[in-house]
Amino acid sequence: MDSKVEHTENGITLTLYGDATIQTAVDLKGVLVRELGGGDNLTVDLAYITDCDVSLFQLLCAAHKRSVSDGKAMQVSNCSPAVSRIISSGGLNRGSACMTEAQDGCFWQQKDGEVTK
């Protein structure tokens, strides 16, 4: 897995490329921790993920919970077909938020049959 970080006036965009699987989980965790510490608003762009497994979602959810507890904003954007497939087949679509204290709720919350994030 590769990544690109872009710092803008609106926050940090972390774009992930390639496979985001258990084999790359340690690297992804390090990148997420570093970028969450670098600003108050992190967007993780998943448009270029070619393969993934549940470890990607575990890390993103853990990072989101951390951002909420630190008073920071975090969101995901542009789910690739590989990411969307795992959200659907893995039963990650949610009807309600996993954290009531989070302004934006859960990344994978569904509205009208579509993942809202």
What is the set of domains in the chain, with CATH numbers? 2-115 (3.30.750.24)
Q: What interhelical angle do 54-69 and 81-89 show, nearest 10?
A: 90
Which tokens belong to 66?
């951390």
Q: What is the pLDDT of residue 108?
A: 58
Please report the pLDDT score of residue 110 as a whole number.
52
Q: What is the pLDDT of residue 103?
A: 52
Query: Can you give the pLDDT at residue 117?
Result: 46
Q: What is the pLDDT of residue 101?
A: 53
pLDDT score at 73: 92
Spell out where the chain has E strands: 2-8, 11-20, 41-52, 73-77, 110-111, 114-115
One pLDDT digit (tens) per residue for the chain, 117 residues = 999 999 999 899 999 999 999 999 999 999 999 999 988 999 999 999 999 999 999 999 999 999 989 999 999 999 999 998 988 887 666 554 555 555 556 665 554 444 444
Q: What is the pLDDT of residue 33?
A: 95
